[in-house]
Structure 1
C-alpha cells in the first residue's frame, strides 16, 4: 500500500457515490474552465498531474464539469499563474507555490522549504496536521483556493558545469534555483536565478548560468541538461518532497456546487498518488541511462550540506522575526516537523538505512 496516497481511495469512492445520482438527474450545471499550467507539455509527469485532474473531473461528472489544461506560455507565462488566477484571467492553475515567494515567502510552505519534510510528512501535515487550514487562511488574502495536487518526492541537486568540492565553490555561482533555496544560496555567496523550466537549457548551454536544478532524472533527461553540464549532484536539499498545487480563483470556487468541489478535491488527491508513483518508476530507469551515457554523479560534500542547513534556519528565523504571516505558519510547521522527525528516526529511517545498506553489500558481492 502506498501510504503517500492513503487518503485518495476513500475520498474518491465517496465522491463517486455522491456525484453520480445528482448528475443522472441532470441537477448539476455544465461548467467549462481554463487552467494555466506552470509546466511545458513535454514534461508529461509534472504537467500530467494537472491534465490528470481535468480527465478525472470530467469522468466523475459525466462530462458536465470540464477543465482544459494549457501548458506554460499558451495562456500566461509559467511564472505568472498565481497572478492570472488572482486576477480572474484564468479560472484555475497548476503550479508550484514557491515560484511566488517574491510576493511573500509564506508561499513556500504550500510547496516545500529547504531541509523540510519528505513527501509523506508533507502530506501528513497538509491533510491531518493543520497545514491546509493555515494555508487556506493565507491564500484567502490572494483570492485563491489552493489544493494539493501532485508530488515529485525528493529531488536531485542539479547540474553543474564545474565540481562543487567546498562551500567556497558556491561563491559567485549563478544557479537556476527556485523558491527560498535561492535566498539560502545567496547567503553563501551564490547568485540565484529564477528561470522557467522551458528556458533553463539555453541559459545553461550559453553559460548564462553555471548550474541549474529542476526535478530529477526523468524530467532532467527530457530537458537535455546532460548535454551541457557534466556533473549531476544529489540530494536536492531544498526539496526533500515537493507538493504541487491546483489554484482556483476564490469566486470560481464559491460558485461550484458542493459535489463538484468534492470531485475536484478527490481528483487532486488522485493526481498526487499518480504523479509520485510515476516518478518512482521513471526516475531509477532514467538515472541509469544518464550514468551510462557519461553523466558524473556526485554527492554534495557534507561541509556544503551543513553550511546550507545552518544558513536555511538562520534565514527562517530572520524572516519570522520580521514577517508575521510567515511566522504564523512557520512556528506550527516547525513543531510538526520536529515531531515527525522523532518518529521517522525510530522506525522509517532505521528500516530504510538497514535494507539499503544490505542491498549495497549484496550488489558489491555480485
Structure 2
C-alpha cells in the first residue's frame, strides 16, 4: 500500500510539473501570438453557382476549417459564379491576383497549359484512391507544382467525385458505328478521344444541358453520376445510363496565388493546405454517399433506366484512340511525357494491388 501511495504522489507531482511546463509554453506561445495576431482575408472564386451541392459544400467546409484552425487569423470570402460571372475564369483570376484562391477543375485549363490536363482524371486511368496515393506518394504533387509554379500558382486537391458514369444516351450503343456522328456533351481529353472515333463532342453549360438533350441539340451527355445527375433529370429523356471509362477518379482543385501564399506566416500556410485537403477528402465521402442514396431512389422511381457498359469493340476503339493521342502529347511536350510516364508506371504498380484487394473482394461477393 505504501508503495502505491508513493507511486500516486509521484504521478501527481509529474502531472503537476508537466502542466506547469505546458502552461509556460502556452504563455510563451500566447505572448508570441500577441505580436502576430494579424488577420488575413483571402478571396476565393469558384466555378460553381451559389449553393451548388457537393462542390460548393467543399468550399464552405474549407472556409469553416481554415477559420477555425487559425483561430480567426484567416478569413475566407467565397464568390460563386453568380458574383464574378466567369465560371471558367478562375485560373486567370487567381494568376492575376484578382482573387487569392480558386476552386475548379484542372482540365479546364488545357488551352492555357496542356499539362494542367492530367491532374483531374484521365481516361482508363486511376481510381480516386489510386490517384490520391499517386498525388501524395507517387510524385503527383511534385509534378503538379512543376506545372503550376510557372504560372505563379499552387494547385491542391479539391475533392473527388469518385468514378464518373459514362453518360446518358438516347439510343443504345452496340458498335463503334453507333458513335459516328453522335452529338455528345463530353469535355476534356475524353472529348478528343470521342472525336477520334467519329463522335461530335461539345461542351455546353450545365444550365443548358437538359434543354439541349430534350430538343435533340445533343444525342447524349455525361455529367457526373447519381450524386449530381438525379437532380438534372436526364433520366427522363435518355434511358441508357452507361458505366464509366473517361473519368475514373475526377479530382477538383484548389488554386492558390503563390505570391499571396508566400506572404502568409508559415503556420497559416500549413493551416490553409490542411483545410483544403481535409475538405477535399470530405467531399469524396459526400459524393459517394449522395451517389448511393440517389441511385437507390432512381432505381425505385425510374425502373426503366437501363444501365449499360460499352461492348468490347467500342472499348478497344476508345483505348486505341487514347493511346494514340497520349503518344502524340508525349512526343510534342517533354513535361507531358514525364507526367504521362509517371501516371502509367504508378497505375501499373498500384493496379496490381487493387486487383488482388478491392477488385478480388468485389468479384468474390458478386459470385455469392
Q: CA deviation at 1:197?
A: 2.9
SS in 2 for 1:86: helix
Q: CA deviation at 1:51?
A: 1.8
2:278 alignment counterpart: 270
Gaps of 5+ in 2: 1-25
Q: CA deviation at 1:23?
A: 8.8
Q: Deviations over 1:167-209 (max 9, x none)?
A: 1111111211121111101101111112333332332233222
Taking structure 2 as the reference length, what is the TM-score of the superposition? 0.86
SS in 1 for 2:84: coil
1-structure distance, mates of 2:259, 2:318: 41
Match of 2:109 among 100, 106, 125: 100
Regions of 4+ moved over 3 Å: 20-26
**Is 194-203 or 128-137 further displaced after alignment?**
194-203
Would the aligned equivalents of 2:227 and 2:288 in 1 still touch at CA under 8 Å? no
Q: CA deviation at 1:110?
A: 1.4
2:249 alignment counterpart: 241
Match of 1:181 among 167, 178, 190: 190
2:331 alignment counterpart: 321
Q: Deviations over 1:14-43 (max 9, x none)?
A: xxx9xx958963614211122111123343
**Is 146-155 or 67-76 further displaced after alignment?**
67-76
Q: CA deviation at 1:283?
A: 0.8
2-structure distance, mates of 1:50, 1:196: 21
Match of 2:133 among 117, 121, 124: 124
Q: Which has the larger radius of gyration?
A: 2
Note closer, same or farther for the CA distance 1:91–1:198 as it changes in structure 2 (3 Å cut): farther
Q: CA deviation at 1:118?
A: 0.5
Q: CA deviation at 1:274?
A: 0.9
2-structure distance, mates of 1:88, 1:50: 19
User: How well do the aligned residues superpose, as a CA RMSD in angstroms?
Assistant: 2.0
Would the aligned equivalents of 1:101 and 1:180 in 2 still touch at CA under 8 Å? no
2-structure distance, mates of 1:339, 1:306: 22
Match of 1:74 among 67, 70, 83: 83
Q: CA deviation at 1:60?
A: 1.0
Note closer, same or farther for the CA distance 1:325–1:194 as it changes in structure 2 (3 Å cut): farther
1:305 alignment counterpart: 315
SS in 1 for 2:45: strand
Match of 1:232 among 220, 237, 241: 241
- Number of equivalences: 339
2:357 alignment counterpart: 347
